[in-house]
Amino acid sequence: MTGKTFLWIEDRKGKSSYVFWKIFMQQLFPEIIVESKTNNSELVKAVKALQDNENHYIIMLDNSFDNLQVYQEQKILKKYSDMKRNILLMDIICFEYILLEFNRLIDWIYAPDDEFRLKRKSAIKARELLIQNIQSENFNYKAIQEIIEYDNHLDNHNVEQLSAKLLFDLTRNTGFEVSKGSIGTCWVDSCCKWQERQENDICGLDGNRLSILDKMKSICVGTSLKNKFSNVGMELVM
């Protein structure tokens, strides 16, 4: 590719998702310039107004498939992007789902004998079944009994809201805690720089501490991100 390459995201600066994508790209694809467009509507407007034909743009818009507003914005975004040669779309369900589907999530956030494995078994099971459902492309997660029992407000939630709730419930009170407003140090820094860590705060990485680069590589390979980036011409170098 000639010219610069930008990754446009809908995530507002300072939010946990923005912080994660900035560090993820700095570590794995430092040549890509990450820019926030504040929210999904503004991202669609930016693509519509784009006049630059020299540089390349990768557009990451959440694809919360059971959210009608997001579905409509996805259709509009595709219409505008199809009119331009230098735009590539990369859809993810949402930032929270990416971390939720990470195949080493549970083994990272909990030590083997962590009591949270038992205390949070309903959330662990709901997460497992949600991932299986979406990866099988059934998308009928609201019919799964264990998920119904886990989320009392499931009828009013879409997949992004469910993913955010699951991720927070699984990670809270750990160095990996993720909410909409903040992301735990253990996701975005090398082991172990969690300043609030107590003596009994032992995660699954305690015996095999990783650099931030190795963490980001593991997340990329252990989620759908590796294939999604490959589809837009970005190959991870291991």
What is the structure's pLDDT at 237? 77
1, pLDDT greater than 60: no
**Terminal alpha carbon distance of the chain:** 21
Give the chain's length. 238
**66 contacts: CB under 8 Å, gap ≥ 6:** 139, 158, 159
Determine which of 6-15, 57-66, 135-144, 191-200 has the lowest per-residue pLDDT on average. Answer: 191-200
User: What distance in Å separates the CA atoms of residue 125 and residue 143, rounded to the nearest whole number?
Assistant: 15
Check if the beta carbon of residue 214 is closer than 8 Å to that of residue 221.
no
Check if the beta carbon of residue 228 is closer than 8 Å to that of residue 136.
no
How does pLDDT run across 101-116, given as a tens digit for each residue? 999 999 999 999 999 9
Average pLDDT, the chain: 93
Q: What percentage of the chain carries pLDDT values higher than 90?
A: 78
196, pLDDT greater than 90: no
Range 48-72 average pLDDT: 91
Q: Per the structure block, which two tokens stand in for 112?
A: 């083997």
Q: Per the structure block, which two tokens stand in for 141?
A: 């997660």
151, pLDDT greater than 60: yes
159, pLDDT greater than 60: yes
Q: Per the structure block, which two tokens stand in for 158?
A: 């879409």
What is the structure's pLDDT at 64? 87
Nearest Cα residue to 60 out of 42, 80, 43, 41: 43
- Note the helical H segments in the chain: 16-28, 40-49, 68-81, 95-101, 105-109, 116-119, 121-135, 145-150, 159-171, 185-188, 212-221, 225-231
**132 contacts: CB under 8 Å, gap ≥ 6:** none
User: What distance in Å separates the CA atoms of residue 236 and residue 229, rounded to the nearest whole number?
Assistant: 8
The band of 149, judged by pLDDT with boundaries at 50, 70 and 90, is very high
What is the structure's pLDDT at 193? 79
What is the structure's pLDDT at 87? 95
223, pLDDT greater than 90: yes
Q: Per the structure block, which two tokens stand in for 177?
A: 């805690």
228, pLDDT greater than 70: yes
What is the structure's pLDDT at 69? 86
2, pLDDT greater than 80: no
Domains annotated for the chain, with CATH where assigned, are: 5-94+218-231 (3.40.50), 97-217 (no CATH)
Q: pTM of the predicted model, to two decimals?
A: 0.93
The band of 230, judged by pLDDT with boundaries at 50, 70 and 90, is very high
95, pLDDT greater than 80: yes
Who has greater pLDDT, 162 or 198?
162
Check if the beta carbon of residue 234 is closer than 8 Å to that of residue 29.
yes
